[in-house]
Every structure is written in C-alpha cells, then in structure tokens.
Structure 1
Amino acid sequence: MSKALYLHPKHLQKVSFYPTANGYLTTTKQRKATNWEHACYDKIRAHRKEFGRAAQTAAQVRLAFKQIIELIPDKTMYRRFSSQLLSIIKNDHTNIRGERTVEAGDVTALTRFEFNNDAYFHRIFKAKYAVAFDRTTGRAQVQIPAFKPSSEVRIPKNATHFKLVAVAQAINFETCDAQSKYTSTTAFPLDSTLKDDITLELQLPAHDPRHVFISIGIEFVEHLHGREYAVRGGHENAMSIAGVYTKVAHTTVVQTGKCIPAIVAIRQQAKQQVDVVTPVPPKVTPKPTMATQPVRRNKIPSFIHPPTNKSKRKQVTLQPAIVPIE
C-alpha cells in the first residue's frame, strides 16, 4: 500500500504527476541535472538526433499516404513507420553517426510493410500477383490472375464485396518531396469467381529519380439496398508495400578526349629537354665465402682439462764428470 505524506503547497512545483490505469503517480526530483553536453554522452546525443530525424521524416512524408490512412484507420501506423525509418537510418554506411539519413540508407527494408497491424495483407489475400515498374516511362502495374475469392480471400463478417487497391508513391526523404497515385477496382462479389485477370496501372513522371513504392491492398464493403457500407469502419482492410525501387544514382561522365593530344605533346617536350642519366650502380664488395673464411677452432674449455700443479721449470740432470788420472 502506498504511503501518504504531507506536502506543503509551495513544494508542488517540484512534483510531477503521471496518469496511470490505477490512478495518478507522483514523483519528486531527487537527482542532479545531467550535463548532456559532456563528451561521455556523445552516443546518446547522436541517437537523439537520428531518432528526431526519423520522426520528423515520417511526419512530413505522411501526406503521401493520405489515401491509405483514409482507407485503413490504424493509429499505430505512424509509430511503426517511424520505427522502420530509424532502422533504415542505422543502415546508412555513408555518413557518420548522428548525421545519418533515410535517403542514404537501405529503403528496401520497407518491403512488405503492413499499414494495418491487425490485418496483414499476405494473410488475408492469398492469390498470386505481380508488380512491375518502368522508370523510363514512369508506369507501374499490378497484375493479378483470375482467382476464386471464397478460397483465396479470408472474408470478414458482414462483408459481401471487395475492392483491390493499388498506390504508387515517389518519395525523396531528404527534401520530403512526395507524389502519390491511387487507383482501385470496382466492387466484386465474394461469392463469385473472377474469370478475367485484373490489371491496375499507375502513372508517375517519366525518369523520376526518387524512390518509388508500390503498395497493394484490399477493401471490404457491404452492399445493402444498393448502397455501400464499410465493414467495421475499415479496420478489416489490409494493405502492404509490395515493391520498392530505389533511386537512380547520378554519375558524371568526364570527357578526356580533348586533353589527350596536349598531354602527349607535353610528355614529348619533356623527353627532349631532360637528359636521361643512367644511374651508376654502387660497388658492392663480395662477401667472403666459406673457402676464404678462416677456420675458427673452438677452444677447449678449462673444465675438460683441469690445470696441473707441475712446475714449468726445466729439469737439469747432472751427469758425473770423468776426470783423467795422470
């Protein structure tokens, strides 16, 4: 059980109130202020900058997904999308930490991103489809072969018809310049079989250098007395990013054909003016070979032949002298 303490009114400015499911929690500031400009917090400051950049980019690019947001009212989409952008920022190998951007990261990580966290597109729509994009003409296509909705679509309650939706976005995450195109089919009954293939075409500017994202989704409706009604307010609709086409890298071509004759002339002129001097190799004295090297004899250690106490004086032997007798 929590403990009740008396609090003077003049100390209320030091108390923070936090609403929870079980009431309000109060905490007081008991630690010193942190100096975030210190060198030991460099990594934290860099992470804060990148986190703020991801959130700001997601907020500005959100207008490109306006049609999708109206179709799928998921409140967690913005948070999940900004989290995905933060992971893309961390994959930027060009800039240093703290200066990394979404534009320089790997945007292909957004493939199969689900706009509805409660209804995944690949779980609801199981039919095959193909996505294609031609950057030269700017045309995007989504082709779906004929299928039977009762076996290829997970039908929610009270739904009688469905629509297939396609969206194409061209986005520059650095300038937050975005352009979106939206198209959908007519309502098809869920209890019938489609005999013809479905083709959804979207037109973007030709030679667009931005990143292109193509999304495909399904919308469920209920037909009642000739009118259409959304099923559960659109919470059963699903959409996913099916194709990601990264921007085209700009390459500059330098023409060096005009400079080649001048370079050749300069080299020929330099050869005429500069005298070629052949360097004289230094004299190298040959090292003595094994035949010319003196043979070094190892001295016998003294412990092998210990010194003797014999005197080195010459021994003189006395011989008797023979004296002749007269």
Structure 2
Amino acid sequence: MDHQINLLKMIGKLNGLSFLHTKHGDFFRKKGGASKTQIKTNPAFARTREINKEFGEISRAGKWIRTSLRHITGTESDDLVVSRLVKQLALVIKTDTTNLHGDRKVGFGLLTADGKAHLQGFNFNINSELRNVLKCNYHVDIASGVVSIPDFVTQNQLHYPVTATHCSIESAWSEIDFVSGQFNYSISPAVSLAKDLTKQSIVLTPAQPPTGNGILLVVLKVSFLREVKGRFYAVKNGAVNAMELVTIF
C-alpha cells in the first residue's frame, strides 16, 4: 500500500482511491479486487461463493445463540464475544459431513460429538471463565433442564474477587431450530449466597423444562456482589461475572 507523506489529512474515498489513517501513519490505496458480479457468476470464484455462503450460515447461527440467551447474558459478555463465537462455529460447521462444501450447516455439525465439543465450554466472558471461578462439580439434567450443585461451600469452592461479599448463581436453557431460527428458552430463579463456610445443595430449576424441539443449550452463570449498608452492588459492574455453555444436546 502506498504511503501518504504530505500534510493533507484525508479519510475515505476519492477518485478511486481509499484513504486510511492508522497508528502506523496515513495510507492510500487504489480500488482493486473482483467485482460483486464476478464473484457471483465467475466459475473461478466458486470456492469464494462457498466460503461466503457458509460464513452467512455461521453468522446467523451465532446471532440465534446470542439472542436466545440474551435474557441471562446481561453484562457477562466481553467485547469480543461475537467474533469468538463465530470462530468456534466455524469449527462446528466443518463437522457437518452430510452436506457438501458451501451448503454445510451449523445445526448438522452440532448433531455430531465433534461439533458439540467445539462449542461446549464456550465462555461468554473470556476475562472470567467459569472453570477459574467455580471449583466444584455440578450436574445437568437434560430432561428437566435442572442444574444441581451438591454440598456447595461458597468460601471454599468459589474464587471470589477481593471486594465481593456474596454471589448469585443461575442457569438457563435454550432450544434452537438451526433451520428456521425459532427458539424456546427458560431461566432458573437466581440463588444468592453469602461468602461463608455453610454447606448447602443448590438446585437451579428453570421455569419450564425443555420441549425436546431443537438443539438444547444449557448455560451456568455466576455473578459477584458486594453488600454495602444492606444494599447489593455488582462487583466491577459485572465485569468479573462468569457464564459458560455447559451442555449441548
């Protein structure tokens, strides 16, 4: 790319030239590459068309997943969650051995063990992964959507941020039809616990069980709170909260 060294600062396009400002300086380049018509019709771009078609499928699937869980994600998603999810779904779609290149589907990939493995364990907040926060075993019942944590001791089995005095734990499921984009979801009531040595069994029961229609996704979420004069505040505005996709069925 040519480098602009004159004093005139420009950003945008002019007479077939694109002007860019980067941390490395100001640059311009001539318009190039294939036209949209060439990409759509030229046999030489057949592979490009396949890639573009599958990228559209991946993007739609990612949006459906995020939308179906938007009622629980809240501030638990980091700034790169969209691109990170797309990256994993790009691996999932490659596990579809039913359809040919260009027509592969995320939904078909998620029917395979390898496809599930690429997405299960996905953390919506890369800065606070559930495995680094929750130090205990839990069980997911596929039929009911219930998540249970037996003999749970918050002070010993949670990695608390320094200022946190309490935690809140909840779960949710969504079932997605990856053909139509239709989905169902349900969220459990949150269980709030103080940071102490009390042993108790946690049962997170969603408002309704899964219907059995579509691919089932179950997430588990841990939020941290600070009590000040009887009122509770999210620690760091939720930036330390964790939420993971723990089960796919």
TMscore range, shorter length: 0.7 to 0.9
Distance 2:199 2:209 in 1: 33
TM-score by length of 2: 0.85
Q: How does 1:247-266 map to 2 (within 5 A)?
A: none
Distance 1:207 1:147 in 2: 29
Aligned AA (1:177): Q
**C-alpha contact 2:164 2:224 (8 A) present in aligned 1:** yes
Secondary structure (helix, strand or coil) at the match of 1:123 reads helix
Please tell me whether residue 90 in structure 1 is matched to residue 99 in structure 2: no
Match of 1:213 among 217, 241, 244: 217
Name 1:47's counterpart in structure 2: 51
Please tell me whether residue 174 in structure 1 is matched to residue 179 in structure 2: yes
Structure 1 residue runs without a partner (length 5+)? 246-326
**C-alpha contact 2:156 2:197 (8 A) present in aligned 1:** no
**C-alpha contact 2:167 2:222 (8 A) present in aligned 1:** yes
* Superposition deviation, residue 205 in structure 1: 5.5
Question: CA distance change for structure 1 residues 6 and 148 in 2, over 3 Å: closer, same or farther?
Answer: closer
Aligned AA (1:40): A
Distance 1:235 1:32 in 2: 42
Name 2:169's counterpart in structure 1: 164
Name 2:123's counterpart in structure 1: 114
* Superposition deviation, residue 104 in structure 1: 1.4
Name 1:4's counterpart in structure 2: 5
**C-alpha contact 2:165 2:225 (8 A) present in aligned 1:** yes
* Superposition deviation, residue 206 in structure 1: 6.1
Q: Which has the higher contact order (CA 8 A, sep 6+)?
A: 2
**C-alpha contact 1:102 1:174 (8 A) present in aligned 2:** no
TM-score by length of 1: 0.66
**C-alpha contact 1:217 1:239 (8 A) present in aligned 2:** yes
* Superposition deviation, residue 33 in structure 1: 4.0
Q: How does 1:136-151 map to 2 (within 5 A)?
A: 139-151=144-156
The structure that has the greater radius of gyration is: 1
Distance 2:203 2:209 in 1: 20
Percent identity, aligned pairs only, is 25
Match of 1:21 among 17, 20, 23: 23
Please tell me whether residue 38 in structure 1 is matched to residue 39 in structure 2: no
Aligned AA (2:86): S
Structure 2 residue runs without a partner (length 5+)? none
Q: How many residues align?
A: 236
* Superposition deviation, residue 51 in structure 1: 0.7
Name 2:230's counterpart in structure 1: 226
Distance 1:113 1:84 in 2: 8
Please tell me whether residue 200 in structure 1 is matched to residue 201 in structure 2: no
Secondary structure (helix, strand or coil) at the match of 1:118 reads coil
Higher helix share: 2
Please tell me whether residue 186 in structure 1 is matched to residue 188 in structure 2: no
Higher strand share: 2
Distance 1:6 1:23 in 2: 12
Question: CA distance change for structure 1 residues 5 and 56 in 2, over 3 Å: closer, same or farther?
Answer: same
